[in-house]
Amino acid sequence: MKNVWTIASRELRAFAVSPMPYVVSALFLVVIGYFFAIILITSQEATLRNTFSNMMFVLLLLAPALTMRLLAEEQRLGTIELLLTAPVRDWQVVLGKWLGSFIAFAGAIILPTLFYPLVLKFIGNPDMLPMATGYVGMLLFGGGFLAVGIFTSALTQNQVIAYFAGFAILLLLFVAEPATSIAGTGPLGATISYIAIQRHYDSFFRGVIDSIDVVYGLSLIAIPLILATLVLQTRRWG
């Protein structure tokens, strides 16, 4: 794990000097702050459920921006060859990149939103359990969004292509649920229903942690990272 942390630390330093994380964080906080205020004023309810749902959709747009350069830029600059010939395994490279982006995501995007529960606690008596499980869901599925972005970043040298490819995959996961009415109730419909991301994260925002949803979230992290590792391996031996 030393190699993983070394790569993660390198990425955190790169995030610290890059304007992209600050831009993404600012955009996220401005948009979500607006939605939070509107929902609070109109509903008069001390809850973050709708705010969490909005946060997930905004992350669909912004998460690929955090990861689009991680492997694409290495390939464009030719530094990926140096990285792959170093005494480090492909999975360590991928996991280190993901870990660095996840720490940046948690610190720059999720951590500032803890202000919202404090506001609700000050003005009312909110149920803290859905808020706690909601943040668990945000971290779990946010990590999955980053993993998808890393996979698409491994596929190309072009950061713009990596961004839109990651966005397209996440968007398909978001809009998969309505397709079940077309696919029917057979195996295809059941498969599409399972991969639809909304049906899995919503339970976290209601204060429920179901093992099926946790497995889905972990799979959303693991599968793209495994695929990204396989892509790097083809470059190593290609």
Rounded to whole angstroms, the Cα distance separating 183 from 92 reads 39
Backbone dihedral region of 28: left (phi > 0), alpha (psi from -120 to 50 degrees) or beta? Answer: alpha
- Residue 143 makes CB contacts below 8 A (sequence gap 6+) with 98, 102, 105, 217, 220, 221
Q: What is the reported pLDDT for 220?
A: 94
Residue 209 backbone dihedrals phi, psi, to 5 degrees: -115, 105
Amino acid identity for residue 156 in this structure: T
Evaluate if residue 181 carries a pLDDT over 70. no
81 vs 209 pLDDT, higher one = 209
Which one-letter DSSP state was computed for residue 238?
A: -
Q: What is the reported pLDDT for 77?
A: 75
pLDDT tens by residue, 65-84: 999 988 888 777 777 666 66
pLDDT tens by residue, 111-169: 999 999 888 888 878 888 989 999 999 999 999 999 999 999 999 989 999 999 999 99
Are 79 and 157 in contact by the 8 Å Cβ rule? The answer is no
Reduced to 3 states (helix: H, G, I; strand: E, B; else coil), residue 121 is helix
Q: What is the reported pLDDT for 45?
A: 78
pTM of the model: 0.92
Rounded to whole angstroms, the Cα distance separating 232 from 80 reads 9
Residue percentage of the chain with pLDDT more than 90:
40
What's the chain's length in residues? 238
Q: What is the reported pLDDT for 222?
A: 96
Q: What is the reported pLDDT for 180?
A: 67
CA end-to-end distance (rounded Å), the chain: 26
Least confident residue range of 54-58, 84-88, 92-96, 153-157: 84-88
Q: How confident is the model at residue 46 (pLDDT cuts 50, 70, 90)?
A: confident
Rounded to whole angstroms, the Cα distance separating 75 from 53 reads 35
Rounded to whole angstroms, the Cα distance separating 39 from 122 reads 16
50 vs 152 pLDDT, higher one = 152
Reduced to 3 states (helix: H, G, I; strand: E, B; else coil), residue 206 is coil
